[in-house]
């Protein structure tokens, strides 16, 4: 797998970093919203504050990290260069960030203009990204599971966006749409068809490379994305029939659980003597994913999931699963990109500082522990909201302020070292002889 990496085609550093630095801001807003909403926020996942909180994490934090990662991954992993990245990337970033804020404002205020502006910005920004990424991948042969997964994640994102637009259209009552059914489709396609498929495509490379594990089984890596999307399509078609729909939904959940189990098994075979922060985050994410699957299977035995079960599934999947793994990946991707661009800046004359110096190891460890504590308090708040809603909101706020601080420290390190290299370059023999 590592042979397919092409770091010479890495995009400008500011392209992925603008997304990575924006993501914690939305999680900080999520913590502030919890402090404002308090225990009432957990009454139902359909309250305006609960919907706003969900989208602060999914459209705010998750989407920012995933788009930033894809912008970096496409040229490096697949050799697929975005057309005019210096024009496309800022437009995509601005429209997605502003659209997410307007979407949250729409949920909290219940004002139709906010929803329509959010749909316009998010829809246009994501359409631009999907078009640019699809164009870049169009002529790249799917020679390995990672490229195949990247290609198949784009239809998953497209369906998620389309369903989101339909929901926004239906909220003002202008059209008689089955909102509950559309919400379930939107949620599952976003979590699985887009999120899990993209995560798995990246994991097939980064888990063996960064965590020093054996590769995923070839048959599993080759079939996973196709299987997930096929199951999702069949489930979507049969959504009106409870029997087939429940069976196919269970198959989708089992496929996600299978990915988590395979990842945990590979981690057990890691050659590292001690787990680093990334491995701890991945392990927690996979355990939370399995727990979310277990809660779902427990809930479907009854007529429907209870409010508490819905919240548990959401917290385990969003905050425990996706957020944990993304934080762990940021602590690998960001130092590596800083090192790579410093090395390119210094060329053959200077050796870039070790990646471990980009972000202090104790700061990474403390932030990771703060995130773990926030997750524990958030799970407790689902069960005992009166006692734990405010501590959970405060913990989320602190953990993500800490994450932002660590990412800004990496930017500061890059600027400081870059200035040193730039100041020393004229004194090198190569420059003096020119």
Q: What is 150-177 written as a DSSP string?
A: HHHHHHHHHHHHHHHHHHHHHHTTSS--
Residues 6+ apart with CB under 8 A from 247: none
What residue spans define the domains of the chain?
Answer: 7-417
Secondary structure (3-state) at 230 = helix
Q: Give the end-to-end CA distance of the chain in Å, rounded to a whole number.
A: 41
The conformation of residue 1, written as its DSSP 8-state character, comes to: -
Show the tokens assigned to 387.
């006692």
Nearest to 354 by CA among 364, 366, 342: 342
Q: Please give the CATH architecture assigned to the domain spanning 7-417.
A: Up-down Bundle (1.20)
Dihedral sign computed on CA atoms, order 105, 110, 113, 118: positive
* C-alpha–C-alpha distance, residues 429 and 434, integer Å: 9
Cα–Cα separations (whole angstroms), residue 5 to 209, 212, 213: 11, 16, 17
Largest CA distance in the chain: 79
Secondary structure (3-state) at 310 = helix
* C-alpha–C-alpha distance, residues 350 and 196, integer Å: 40
**pLDDT per residue as tens, the chain (434 positions):** 444 555 556 788 899 999 999 999 999 999 999 999 999 999 888 889 999 999 999 999 999 999 999 998 888 877 788 888 888 999 999 999 999 999 999 999 988 889 899 999 999 999 999 999 999 998 888 888 999 999 999 999 999 999 998 888 777 666 667 778 888 899 999 999 999 999 999 999 999 988 989 999 999 999 999 999 999 999 999 888 878 888 999 999 999 999 999 999 999 999 888 888 889 999 999 999 999 999 998 876 555 678 788 899 999 999 999 999 999 999 999 998 998 888 888 766 677 788 889 999 999 999 999 999 999 999 999 999 999 999 999 999 999 999 999 999 999 999 998 888 887 765 544 444 33
| pTM above threshold 0.75 | yes
């Amino acid at each position: 797998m590592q042979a397919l990496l092409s770091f010479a085609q890495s995009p400008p550093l500011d392209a992925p970093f603008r997304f990575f630095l924006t993501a914690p801001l939305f999680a900080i807003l999520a913590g502030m919203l919890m402090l404002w909403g308090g225990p009432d926020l957990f009454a139902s996942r359909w309250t305006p504050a609960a919907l706003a909180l969900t989208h602060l994490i999914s459209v705010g934090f998750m989407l920012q990290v995933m788009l930033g990662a894809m912008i970096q991954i496409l040229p490096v992993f697949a050799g697929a260069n975005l057309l005019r990245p210096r024009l496309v990337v800022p437009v995509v970033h601005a429209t997605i960030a502003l659209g997410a804020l307007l979407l949250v404002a729409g949920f909290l205020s219940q004002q139709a203009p906010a929803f329509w502006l959010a749909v316009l910005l998010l829809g246009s920004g994501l359409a631009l990204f999907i078009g640019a990424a699809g164009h870049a991948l169009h002529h790249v042969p799917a020679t390995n599971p990672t490229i195949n997964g990247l290609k198949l994640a784009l239809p998953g994102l497209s369906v998620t966006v389309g369903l989101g637009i339909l929901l926004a259209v239906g909220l003002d009552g202008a059209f008689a749409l089955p909102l509950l059914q559309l919400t379930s489709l939107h949620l599952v396609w976003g979590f699985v068809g887009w999120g899990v498929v993209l995560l798995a495509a990246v994991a097939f490379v980064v888990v063996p490379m960064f965590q020093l594990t054996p590769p995923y089984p070839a048959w599993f890596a080759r079939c996973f994305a196709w299987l997930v999307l096929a199951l999702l399509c069949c489930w979507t078609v049969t959504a009106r029939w409870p029997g087939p729909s429940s069976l196919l939904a269970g198959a989708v959940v089992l496929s996600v659980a299978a990915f988590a189990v395979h990842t945990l098994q590979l981690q057990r075979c890691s050659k590292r003597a001690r787990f680093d922060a990334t491995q701890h985050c991945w392990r927690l994410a996979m355990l939370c994913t399995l727990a979310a699957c277990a809660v779902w299977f427990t809930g479907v035995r009854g007529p429907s999931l209870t409010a508490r079960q819905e919240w548990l599934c959401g917290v385990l999947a969003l905050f425990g699963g996706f957020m944990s793994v993304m934080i762990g990946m940021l602590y690998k991707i960001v130092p590596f990109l800083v090192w790579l661009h410093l090395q390119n800046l210094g060329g053959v004359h200077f050796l870039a500082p070790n990646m471990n110096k980009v972000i202090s190891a104790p700061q990474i460890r403390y932030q990771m522990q703060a995130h773990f504590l926030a997750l524990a308090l958030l799970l407790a708040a689902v069960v005992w909201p009166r006692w734990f809603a405010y501590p959970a909101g405060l913990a989320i706020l602190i953990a993500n302020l800490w994450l932002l601080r660590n990412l800004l420290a990496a930017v500061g390190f890059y600027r400081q070292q870059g200035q040193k290299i730039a100041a020393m370059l004229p004194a090198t023999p190569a420059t003096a002889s020119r």
